């Protein structure tokens, strides 16, 4: 799913706006995050050393807002017809939190750092918020996880994907 969305963004937005802006916007989005941004960057021939910092910044920018505001936003949304959706998201976060059995730091780091569908900084921040983890303890493993996922996806996007597409 990530690859298909990344290709769509590269093919559609990559023709109407600067490639750097496209990869930044893709990196901001849940589901895609830096993994999608790096795929788009490779497809748009953005140099790796330009793409990596843009993707990291785009990926981590939403994290403090999620950690600080999510519980308040969810509380407001539970008073609307979106209550079922909010409860579904909270339950999903609680179910995914079982992957953090090795402890908060390492569990959150591995959850964010291994680029699999449904993992990443957005979901990691959602889990930390729903579980009411100390924000100061949640940020370092999320940031390190983003760096880890970035390394993995950079290798995939610029080594493997570049050879497949070329």
Q: Which residues contact 9 (CB under 8 A, 6 or more apart)?
A: 22, 25, 26, 32, 36, 40
Backbone φ/ψ region at 31: left (φ over 0), alpha (ψ -120 to 50), beta: left
> What residues does each domain of the chain span?
2-60+150-165, 62-147
Backbone φ/ψ region at 103: left (φ over 0), alpha (ψ -120 to 50), beta: left
Residues 146 and 110 sit within 8 Å (Cβ to Cβ): no
Residues 148 and 113 sit within 8 Å (Cβ to Cβ): yes
Q: At what angle do helices 121-130 and 83-96 cross, to 10 degrees?
A: 100
pTM above 0.75, yes or no: yes
Distance (Å) of CA 133 to CA 118, 119, 121: 20, 17, 15
pLDDT tens digits, residue range 131-158?
888 899 999 999 999 999 999 999 988 8
Question: Is residue 163's pLDDT more than 80?
Answer: no
Place of tokens 């100061």: 136
Question: Is residue 122's pLDDT more than 80?
Answer: yes
């Amino acid at each position: 799913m990530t690859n298909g969305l990344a290709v769509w963004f590269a093919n559609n937005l990559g023709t109407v706006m600067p490639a750097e802006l496209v990869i930044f916007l893709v990196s901001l989005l849940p589901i895609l995050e830096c993994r999608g941004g790096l795929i788009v960057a490779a497809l748009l021939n953005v140099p790796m050393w330009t793409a990596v910092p843009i993707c990291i910044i785009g990926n981590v920018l939403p994290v403090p807002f999620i950690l600080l505001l999510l519980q308040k936003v969810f509380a407001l949304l539970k008073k609307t017809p979106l209550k079922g959706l909010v409860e579904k998201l909270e339950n999903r976060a609680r179910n995914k939190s079982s992957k953090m059995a090795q402890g908060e730091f390492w569990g959150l780091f591995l959850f964010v750092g291994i680029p699999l569908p449904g993992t990443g900084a957005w979901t990691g921040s959602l889990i930390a918020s729903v579980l009411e983890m100390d924000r100061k303890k949640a940020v370092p493993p999320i940031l390190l996880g983003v760096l880890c996922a970035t390394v993995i996806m950079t290798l995939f996007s610029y080594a493997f994907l570049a050879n497949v597409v070329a």
